[in-house]
Chain A
Amino acid sequence: MSQEEKAPRILKISILRFDPHDPEDFPHMETFEVEEAIGMTLFVALNEIREHHDNSLKFDFVCRAGICGSCSMLVNGKPTLACRTLTKKLDVNITLAPLPLFELIGDLSIYTGKWMRGLNERLETWIHDKSNELQVDRLEERMEPALADEIYELDRCVECGCCVAGCGTIQMRENFVGAVGLNKVARYHLDPRDKRTNDDYYEMIGNEDGVFGCMTLLGCEDVCPKDLPLQSKIAYLRRMMLKNAL
């Protein structure tokens, strides 16, 4: 590890700060200097700042392993998960800002949960099956492992909101479901236990706030930290909707 022998870099981390609950406050940049350590992520660096420089700095983390999706922010202008960003991959000058479009709690902390809950209620992201009351003591319907894998692939979404922040359409249409929403629809559409018909899905997303609103800029796919196949799923849903409409 040759990195160990070199003097550590001093990172200059500039953060867009604002406390909307404080009537005196206004949005401003503040720069903190942090000595880089081996294996340092932005999660570690931000905690250093909070512990040693300013304990009022607001940012969210839970799992610090890229699974909870709460640490999404703009890193040098690009939406990503801070916990999975190694500082050694960045220049010494780092700029952090909260994700746009979501309600700001303060500094880097945003309320993605509220937005995602609204989305899930709107798209009813759960299994719909009116004909069968769930009977837990019955054997489950069997599913081909390949299909289960395909569903799992889409279920890996952590609702971090990066795709929403990276979306061009939503800048113009605030009710656009975004790639996160379309991915969820694709997931339930794949699932044979969900008995919603193509007509039901058309009713839900066959419009400009749904799959036809997408301008195919594909910022979502570029920034998705989980590498979800957003591009192909949006294209798939669009074809499915068109076929259904014809």
Chain B
Amino acid sequence: MDRSLGLCSGLTEGCRGDGGLLLDKDGYRFMPDYEPDKKELASRDVVSRRMTEHIRKGKGVKSRYGDHLWLDITILGREHIEKNLREVKEICENFLGIDPAEEWIPVRPTQHYSMGGIRTKYTGESQTLKGLYSCGEASCWDLHGFNRLGGNSVSETVVAGMLVAEHISDFLESAASQLTIHTGNVEKFVQIEKDKIDALLSREEGEDAYILRRRMEAIMMDDVGIFRNGDDLQKAVDELKELHQRAKNISVFRSKSPAANPALVNAYRTQKMIKIALTVALGALLRTESRGAHSREDYPERDDANWLKRSITTWVREDDEMPTMSYEEIPIGEMEMPPGFRGYGKDLTLHNEQTPIRQSAVDAIKKELESQGKDRFEIQNAMMPFRDKLPKKYQGINERLGENV
């Protein structure tokens, strides 16, 4: 994989925010042509797609790691780079051997984060397994939706860290946490996992986890990438399904230690990674629209009429060949901000018939309460109440300069 260039695209978020420019092989600043208003400051997924489009037009710089573009932060000046973008500078120096105050940085879009995770309630507790809490990248907690924007991970760390941690400690102090589990059941499940590990270690002739993993990586990069289409996604699903079967026959070669054993870790994790890859590919294949980071060339519209819903994936039985998909409706009638045009390119949205109804309802509530002189907390509460969902100690109203201080 293109590690060094990939890394650099991890750089761009802060660099773009600070005023870095994206340039093509001719040193031409191309983003204003695609996004005249937001230019380099367009959202992460939009910039990734524009970069890919521009590379496809033959405007990328050829390298042995594939085509790339340039990020120019020299215009920010050495002082700014060395103080505010110090980590960026260190990465450029240590991995690319370049000085970003003098030279352009090679960049191209890459997978950086996965959206989706364990479906949780607002408390962070799983909707299906009592007492299992998750937050951050592991969870589907609805802080971010079909897209992920710069700074989301900070919000998740800070907000989920505060709220979910508090919900967990409340749960532990409540009677609900007094789970009674038969030790026989615990033993049964430990044994199942132990048998899996033993099988990986004792199998003599089997698949090499590294080969399966590299194949999975290539499929995901080529066929489930920044731009997607039905044919490629179908191909990806078919091949991942086959890899999933082959992964059941992985054998750990040479290193048979059950203690700290990287070969065993790789084997154990590769099986699970392939399941997740298959889940992502199947969800993308079935979702015949474009939304957020999911961009279908054969379905460029965002289809709120049919697809304003979460994809829920489950593996019902241990030996299932494919995951089971279901969908969870996202009720527009409860929204404070009904889904509108996102503001990039042409508006291709197929709107849901509920959207204008809810929009006028929200507008009416707002107008009515404002005329009664209600404050923003009361208006918020009328449109979408949330305060009772917070842990007790966070239910107070924040002090804000110029408002209540």
Contacts and interface: CB of A to CB of B under 8 A. Distances in A.
The answer to whether A and B belong to the same complex is yes
20 contacts: A19-B257, A22-B257, A39-B3, A39-B4, A39-B97, A41-B94, A44-B3, A65-B10, A65-B91, A66-B91, A67-B87, A84-B94, A84-B95, A86-B94, A105-B260, A106-B259, A136-B394, A136-B398, A137-B396, A137-B399
B206 interface: no
A136 B162 contact: yes
Contacts of A4: 64
Interface in A212-245: none
Given A51-B210, A56-B254, A137-B399, A66 B260 contact: no
A55 interface: yes
Given A21-B257, A22-B257, A137-B396, A38 B64 contact: yes
B257 A64 contact: no
Contact of A56 (B3, B10, B96, B262): B262
Contacts of A58: 260-262
Chain B interface residue bracket vs A: 35 or more
Interface of B: 3-4, 7, 10, 64, 83, 87, 90-91, 94-97, 162, 210, 252-255, 257, 259-263, 266, 393-394, 396-401, 405
A55 B262 contact: yes
Interface of A: 4, 19, 21-22, 38-39, 41, 44, 50-51, 54-59, 64-67, 84, 86, 88, 105-106, 109, 135-139, 149
A65 B91 CA distance: 7
Nearest to B255: A56
Contacts of A19: 257, 259
A49 to B, nearest CB: 11
Contact of B262 (A39, A44, A57): A57
Nearest to A81: B94
Contacts of A38: 64
Nearest to A57: B262
A44 B90 CA distance: 18
Contacts of B162: 136
A57 B261 CA distance: 8
Contacts of A59: 262
Contact of A54 (B96, B254, B401): B254
Given A19-B259, A56-B255, A65-B91, A86 B97 contact: yes
A3 to B, nearest CB: 11
